[in-house]
Amino acid sequence: MNGTRLGAGIRERLYVSTTDTYDETADLDYIAIEYALNGERVALTPAEKIHAARILDARGLEPTPIARRIGSDPATVTGWKNNGWKPGGKHPKTRVRTPRPEPVCGEPRMYRRHLKNGERCDTCRAANAAADRRYRATGSQKQVTT
Return per-residue pLDDT of the chain as tens, 146 residues. 555 555 566 667 777 766 777 777 777 888 888 888 888 889 999 999 999 999 999 999 999 999 999 999 898 898 889 888 888 766 656 677 788 888 888 888 888 889 899 999 999 999 899 889 989 988 877 777 66
Quick one: how far is CA 1 from the chain centroid? Answer: 43
Do 33 and 78 fall within a single domain?
yes
Helix 63-70, helix 74-82: angle, nearest 10: 110
pLDDT at res. 93: 63
What is the predicted pLDDT for the residue at 9? Answer: 60
Residues 36 and 76 in one domain: yes
Coil, strand or helix at 33: helix
Is residue 92 domain-resident? no
Together in a domain, 39 and 73? yes
For residues 75 and 27, state if they share a domain.
yes
Structural domains in the chain (count): 2
Could you tell me if residue 71 is inside a domain? yes
pLDDT at 90: 64
Where in the sequence is the domain holding 129, given as residue range(s)?
108-138
71 and 113 inside one domain: no
**Contact predicate 125/111, CB 8 Å:** yes
